[in-house]
Structure formats: C-alpha cells, structure tokens
Chain A
Amino acid sequence: MKGRIISPGVAEGEAIVSHEPIGFYGGVDVKTGKVIDCGHELEGQTITDKILIFPCGKGSTVGSYVIYGLKKNGVAPLAIVNEETETIVATGVILAGIPCVDKIDLQKLDIRSGQRIKVDADNGIVTRLD
C-alpha cells in the first residue's frame, strides 16, 4: 500500500499493532520502550525493534522528545506506520531518523501484532509479508 513519506528509511520486522492512539509522553517509557499508559491495549508490551502501527498520536507535545530519546537509548521502534501522523510524532521521527509512513488505511492493511511487515519510507510503501 502506498502512503505519505513522513521520515525516510527502510525497515522490515515484526508488527506491533495498536487500534487506539498512542501518546508517547507518559505513555511509553523512554528507557525501556515499554508502553506504560494505564489501560492502553499495548500496556506492558515493548515497541523496541518492532514496526509500530497505530492510527494517530495523542496527548502531550513532549512526545517528540520521547521518540528522539527512544532512538538515542537504543529502544526505538524500527519504523512507524500511521493513518495520520500529527506534528508531534512527525517531529520526533524526523529528529530521530525513524522511518515513518502515514495515510495508510489500517483496516485495509489488516495486520495483527506478530506478523511481518516491510516499510519502505523512501517511497512511502508499506507491504505485509505474512
């Protein structure tokens, strides 16, 4: 599927899928990459070295620093796929150099956590491998 290039790069790996928005500030631990947002469907899971798929960002604008920090700490996701990447996530992935594509219809993409996916953010292309 073809989307919009937010931040370039290519990555391939295991998907971790959230149907809810993700707020990185207060939602993801910057040291471990673990989701700490209480009651969130991914609470307790780790996004590190996975392809993180979620509809859109939410919450605090400090999220950009958290995404940058995840990368600096070596616990960032390999790539991010969104339906709509808002500026907080966009700023974070650009600073961190994490490949990111948006304008992807997640229902049509029909992917579950654990399946493999390739993100070619140089061309804005997302491909389900399983």
Chain B
Amino acid sequence: MHLTSDEEKMLAGEHGPVLERSFRLLVRLGEIYGADKMIPIGSVQVAGVSYKSIGDIGLEFLEDYASQGAKVKVLTFLNPAGMDLENWSALGFPKEFAEKQLKIIDAFRSMGIIISATCTPYLAGNLPRFGEHIAWSESSAVSFANSVIGARTNREGGPSALAAAICGVSANYGLHQNEARKPNIKIEIDEKLDLRSGSDFGALGYYVGKQVKNKIPFFSGIKTEAATTSTLKALGAAMAASGAVALYHIRDITPEANNMPVEGLETLHVEPEAIEETYAKLTTGEVPDIVIVGCPHSSLLEVEKIANALAGKSLKRPFWVCTSRVIKHTADDMGFTGIIEKAGGMVVADTCMVVAPIEDMGYRITGVNSGKAANYLPGFCKQDVVFARLEDLISKCI
C-alpha cells in the first residue's frame, strides 16, 4: 500500500503513540483487504457507546485513548448510549450503570466527538453527500449511508471507526471502490406483497438478511410511494442485523441502482406469506410489559405520527419512543412530546431498547415494530418479543 511521507511518519510514531496505534490498525486492515492507499474521509460515526455493550473493557480502552490526548480530525458522531443521558434517573436506569455510562461519554467528549448519541446521524446533523467517503460503524447507519444516500463506507468496527476519526483517513478498499458496490443477488418482491409500514419493511429486511448474509441485494418490485426515509431505514437496519448487509440497491429508488448490472444474478422471490411468517416467527410473547419504538431512532415525522396516534388516549403500559436528542428538542418545541407524555408514554433520547439494560429494569416481554430490535432483544436483552405493526402495538396498550 502506498503511504505518503506524513503517513509513514505517523506509522513510525513521530506523531505520538495514539496516532501510531490508530494508524497501525488502519494500515493492517488496508493490507488485508488490498487497499492501494489511504483516502481522506468526510465524517465518522463511532459505535460501541453503551456501557452494556462494551463494559469495563471498552471503558478502559476509551479512557486509555482519551488520557493519551486522542483528538478526532473530522466531524465525528456517536452511536446511542445505554440510557437517556439527561433523564436516566426518572426512567429508572440503575445508578451504577449511569455512572459508568457517563464516564464513557466523558472519554468520547474529551476526544472532540459530538455527543449525538444516535444511530441516525443523517437525521441529526451529519449528512454526507453522494459519493463521499466516510467511516461509519453503526450497522443501520452504514446501510442507510451507502444505500439511500450513496456515500461510501465499509462496516467499521467501533475501534476502527475511532482510529479513522483520529487519523482523518480510511484505507481505500471494499465499499469505497466501485467494483465492490455491484449487486450479487436479486430480490424480486411479489406484486401482491403490499408493504405499508416500517415494520413491514423490517420484516422484509429480517427475512432477506437471513438469506443473503453479507451479499449486496438488488430489489425490484418495491413501490416508489412506499419507499420513504422511515421505511428504508427500517429495511436496512433489519438486513444488517439478521445478516451483514452493508449496501443494497432498489430499482428506481436508490441512487446507484439503475446503473448496476443485474443480468444473470441468482434471484430470490419474496412471496407475501414470507412477511406474515416473519412477524409470527419473531413474536415469542403475547402481552408486552413495555412497548419501545424507534429502532433505528425515530425521525421527527415518525414522532409526530405517534403523537397523533396517541392523542387523547390513555396507555396502560410503559411506551417509549426512542430518538436522538436533536429530534427530541424539536418534538418538545412542537408539542409532540407533551401529547405522548399526556397519554402515558415517554420520548426517550440518546438510547434504545437494544443497548439499554431493560432486562435489569424488570421488563420481560417487549413490544417492538422493528425487525432489527426483534432480532436482538431475545439474545441480548433476554426478552420475549411481540413484533407487530405500530397500530397493533398501540391497541395492545390501551
């Protein structure tokens, strides 16, 4: 791999131990994956933020970096934390957990990272342009950036994204290059399959991700009017959770799709039954203790729709709407939060049901409308799951 003289100096430790260690990881990844050089990146999104996910080992790793004076060189956003960073006490998060979580946040803040605490940076102030090279790590954000925006990022691990932020570059391999962005399996959506909601797209994503694993699917048959920012983020999130899909294309909808060669590719046909079967397969409980929506984090439009659906109703169970703090501030100003709270729900910022320690907060059965959350909750949060459409979840709570 070609390195500039400045990069050679970085590798030799002339810019200090943090840059050396970070750059060494990037060079090693570049060598493995056949990169020809390093490329400047426009922004970074770092995953591995929740204390529940990374534990004391991650905390030590980050404090070690921070104490050595690590600073990021490009706009760097943070993935969700394990709790609402302001309102954790009222929501019932354990104090010991909160103390560790706040230490992790302090370490990130001292490195110059924006405490955005969201898996939807593109809705919260970090929007790359088409074709821009970035180093993002949260799997649904990676999928959205690559597929819907047409920016270019590999699926970075938390530490490799942090290293890219500190060095301001990423190795030029994989999805940064044209060749690796071509689809290698076709997904034909049956014309009788009427995908309406985010949860329908989440079910589709779960089903397809299981089958295609780490391939690049090319969808046809998804109706233009059904493909919105909300539904596409749900689709990509579920495919990245049940499989390792970092990029997908949809005919006539995503920006690179119609220039992609698809002749002769293996084809998977998705029948309407596959979606209902996925809802049934992912549902392991009957009556939820708590309903949590916003995986990936709710957009402002989604918060507004939930507020409209809950207006004047009285919820009998806890009902969380997870979103970023940026969106929550606007939802507060617009009165959406007030409507949701009046019905008995909460707008929860900075976190979500997957990375929050809900199993330690007394919850056993969680209702979700996210294929990604339904995928993770049984293993990681020891939850039974009710995976259903939003309107069905609401009706189970009133």
Chain A residues proximal to chain B, CB less than 8 Å: 4-6, 21, 23, 25-27, 30, 36-38, 55-65, 68-69, 72-73, 84-88, 90-92, 94-95
In the bound complex, CA of A21 to CA of B53 (Å): 20
Q: Please tell me which stretch of B297-305, B335-343, B376-384 contacts chain A, meaning at least 4 of its Cβ atoms lie within 8 angstroms of it.
A: B376-384
A4-B32, A87-B154, A87-B155 known; A62+B243 contact, CB < 8 A? no
Please tell me if B110 contacts chain A, counting CB pairs below 8 Å: no
| B174 adjacent to chain A (CB < 8 Å) | yes
Closest chain B CB from A88 CB (angstroms): 5
**Cβ-based interface call for B213 (8 A):** yes
Most chain B Cβ neighbours within 10 Å, of A21, A26, A36, A63: A26
Given contacts A64-B157, A65-B157, A87-B157, 16 further A-B contacts (CB under 8 A): A26-B354, A37-B379, A59-B241, A60-B376, A61-B47, A61-B157, A61-B161, A62-B53, A65-B54, A65-B158, A68-B159, A85-B32, A90-B157, A91-B25, A91-B29, A94-B25
Chain A at the B interface: mostly helix, strand, loop or mixed? Answer: mixed
Q: Which residue of B lies closest to A89 (CB)?
A: B157
Cβ A30 vs Cβ B48 within 8 A: no
Contact present for A68 and B213 (CB under 8 Å): no
Minimum CB–CB distance from A78 to chain B (whole Å) comes to 19
| Chain B residues in 8 Å Cβ range of A25 | 53, 380
Q: In the complex, A84→B241 CA distance in Å?
A: 18
Contacts of A23 in B (CB 8 A): 241
Q: Can you list 18 contacts pairing A with B, beta carbon distance less than 8 Å?
A: A4-B32, A21-B214, A21-B244, A27-B379, A36-B380, A60-B138, A62-B54, A64-B158, A65-B58, A68-B61, A69-B58, A84-B214, A85-B32, A87-B160, A90-B29, A90-B32, A91-B156, A95-B25
* Contact between A86 and B25, CB atoms less than 8 A apart: no
A95 to B60, CA, bound (A): 14
A61 contact set on B, CB distance < 8 A: 47-48, 137-139, 142, 155-158, 161
**A26, A57, A64, A84: which contacts B380 (Cβ < 8 A)?**
A26
A-B residue pairs, 4 tightest by C-beta: A64-B157, A26-B380, A91-B157, A69-B57
Interface residue? B9 (CB, 8 A) = no
Interface string of B37-56 (1 = CB under 8 A from A): 00000000001100001110
Q: Are A59 and B29 in contact (CB-based, < 8 A)?
A: no
Q: How far is the CA of A69 from the CA of B174 in the complex (A)?
A: 26
Distance (whole angstroms) from the CB of A38 to the closest CB of chain B: 4
Residues of B124-175 at the interface with A, using a CB-CB cut-off of 8 Å, are 137-139, 142, 154-161, 174
Instruction: From A73, A85, A94, name the one whose CB has the most chain B CB atoms within 10 angstroms.
Output: A94
Cα separation A38 to B385 with both chains bound (whole Å):
12
Asked if B28 CB lies within 8 Å of chain A CBs, one says yes
Q: How many Å from the CB of A96 to the closest CB on chain B?
A: 10
